[in-house]
A and B are shown apart, each in its own frame.
Chain A
């Protein structure tokens, strides 16, 4: 069996990539994708923990259930987020996040 640390290290690397992409990329869609990356990195550690925790002869399922919730929320978020992105793109003819700065002083 693959040791749990490996999953966790992979999850951390994916999450770190997501963070870096989120901070440094300017394209809204890329940023959006980096959020998905971070969510899925977390999902990965959830399932890894689920598998690592035995219960009643099988595995403890809490982690997997959490993953299902995260997927549902992520889907909902994707729906709303893409809607916002489309509106932004229509209004500004651009996907550059630097230009979405109406709140700036």
Chain B
């Protein structure tokens, strides 16, 4: 119980690293900076491992989540109703998965960054931000109440902003950082309202107390179309999740976030931060499960996002943008899982996705490194023989994300599609089948655009000028993490494998204390098993179709894609321009806002009303002073006159009652 009782040490280590590098790193050589950064995250990973080991023992004895308050952060005392928000950390099975993913993948990406960023300016700054991110992310997943979670939530947003805008001299990068921050604010607004509503209803924001209160309240689950507390709170929380996890309609910031350095895209915008929304939905599953409306909304939004982003990914030419849309799409998958009640499957996909998507980004970074900064796939091609390790690891990740067995992506995707197919609900009818069909179509598209990426980058004719680009394999500090992640992408799904031949899905069994056992309703075990096998077969078929289509279009008939684009010009243009969503938002939201700020808020409210008032008061005082100062003539006789005038006025005032009749006599 050494680490478990001092759980704060896991997030604190990266914070120390961030502080040391941020305060003193500027003058240090790169080696000192990355020693600090790597040791802090490495130690954090080791202590997380030890904490998890200790938690297993703890759970064996107590059969409950580990919870420990460290200090009061907000405590109002009895007079204000004993409102308490503590720096309380907890660990349960869900936290275990998240902490290990965050520290493990985070550590690997730190190692990778030492190679990738070696020749960049602001080396210490980069690692300081990266460690800061780790700190906030760990606070987010370890927090035992919504408010502390929100601290981490906003903190990772800050780190994300800083890292997207890392090359802050580049206008597009600093704009992308702002965009990410502002779009996230919209979601956070909902998140906060959700917290307020929960607090108003249940008078607590602690997870354990809250969920116990919800279960004890005996309030019935809210059916489709009923807008009660559970529905409202769930939907508001989901609004926050949709912002952070880049779901429709708030996904627009994530593709732009690719302006940041590639390790940042891998760590923050693929593996960890963007999955925080999924984590929050899974963490709040007790609320979501009590509202059918909320679940349906989550499922539909997730499903729509998955398909929508996948179609955009089909035609992008920037290697990182393809991966960005792929991330949005896979996050949609995770929400689909949550929406159909298969929270375990969602978290499972979160984990495997963290492995293979981090690997894809890192490998893409390695390709960009090899190409000397080129990101456009049209200027690559035929790299497979030149950068072998990168090629092989990227191929593994691609197979994993496309959903071929026995790699990780297959099992998690399969679990999600199975969950969607068998979802129960009084009013959903065969809605589950529609969700399943869209999910399957997305799987096909995923397979297609990922193999398109691989074929365009590594196969086919060489489309770059060898005299200008000296292709070289990356150093081992970069390749090591690639190999490690490739290994995880292969074996990461095997814990769930026995389910295929009728055994136990160890992953959902592990998470069962948190989510309960998710059973396919109305199906006997044998039917469920044969159904699962059938669905797995269909999924493999879809992935194969995508692979073959990409193979045919980009290797066999390299002229064909252009002809296709030519023949379907409007559709192609729409996809290439990302459905004009950015343009739409600019026209509907941004430009009216800018106009309002410019013409009303600035020119009228600020300049005229506020500045006008302040300046008017000053001008008025000056004008009064200017006219009154002439009474100070310095002439003794004029002063005497004023004294006489004043005396006369005093006399008139004092003797007014006596004078009044006299004036009356005069005027008569």
Residues on A lying within 8 angstroms of B by beta carbon are 19, 22-24, 26, 97-98, 100-105
Contact = CB atoms under 8 A, between A and B. Distances in A.
A19 B632 CA distance: 21
6 contacts: A23-B637, A97-B636, A97-B637, A98-B637, A101-B636, A105-B630
Q: Which of A24, A26, A102, A103 is packed against the most chain B CB atoms within 10 Å?
A: A103
B629 interface: yes
Contacts of A101: 634-636
A101 B635 CA distance: 6
Nearest to A103: B634
B641 A105 contact: no
Contact of B635 (A19, A22, A24, A98): A98
Interface secondary structure of B, over-half rule = helix
Closest 9 CB pairs of A and B: A104-B634, A103-B634, A101-B634, A23-B640, A23-B641, A22-B640, A19-B644, A101-B635, A97-B636
B627 interface: no
Interface of B: 629-630, 632-637, 640-641, 644
Contact of B634 (A23, A24, A105): A105
Contacts of A105: 629-630, 632-634
B644 A23 contact: yes
A100 B640 CA distance: 14
B633 A104 contact: yes
Nearest to A24: B637
Contacts of A24: 637
Contacts of B634: 101-105
Nearest to B647: A19
Nearest to B636: A97
B633 A100 contact: no
Nearest to B641: A23
A68 to B, nearest CB: 25
A37 to B, nearest CB: 14
Nearest to A102: B634
A44 B25 CA distance: 92
Contacts of A26: 637
Contacts of A23: 637, 640-641, 644
Contacts of A100: 636
A11 to B, nearest CB: 15
A102 B633 CA distance: 10
Nearest to B638: A23
B635 A104 contact: yes
Nearest to B630: A105
A26 B636 CA distance: 10
Nearest to B648: A19
Nearest to B633: A104
B379 to A, nearest CB: 79
A104 B630 CA distance: 10
A26 B634 CA distance: 15
B647 to A, nearest CB: 8
A30 B641 CA distance: 16
Contacts of A22: 637, 640
Contacts of B640: 22-23
A97 B636 CA distance: 8
Contacts of A104: 633-635
Contacts of A97: 636-637
Contacts of B637: 22-24, 26, 97-98
Contacts of A19: 644
Nearest to A26: B637
Contacts of A98: 635, 637
A24 B644 CA distance: 12
A22 to B, nearest CB: 6
A28 B637 CA distance: 10
Q: Which of B629, B632, B640, B644 is packed against the most chain A CB atoms within 10 Å?
A: B640
B546 to A, nearest CB: 91
Given A101-B635, A104-B635, A105-B630, 7 more contacts: A23-B640, A24-B637, A98-B637, A104-B634, A105-B629, A105-B633, A105-B634
A89 B636 CA distance: 16
A88 to B, nearest CB: 11
A84 B636 CA distance: 14
B636 to A, nearest CB: 6
B47 to A, nearest CB: 78
Nearest to B644: A19
A101 B629 CA distance: 16
Contacts of A103: 634
A45 B644 CA distance: 19
A101 B636 CA distance: 8
A19 to B, nearest CB: 6
Contacts of B630: 105
Contacts of B641: 23
A49 B630 CA distance: 41
B644 to A, nearest CB: 6
A22 B637 CA distance: 8
A1 B547 CA distance: 136
A102 B632 CA distance: 12
B622 to A, nearest CB: 16
Contacts of B636: 97, 100-101
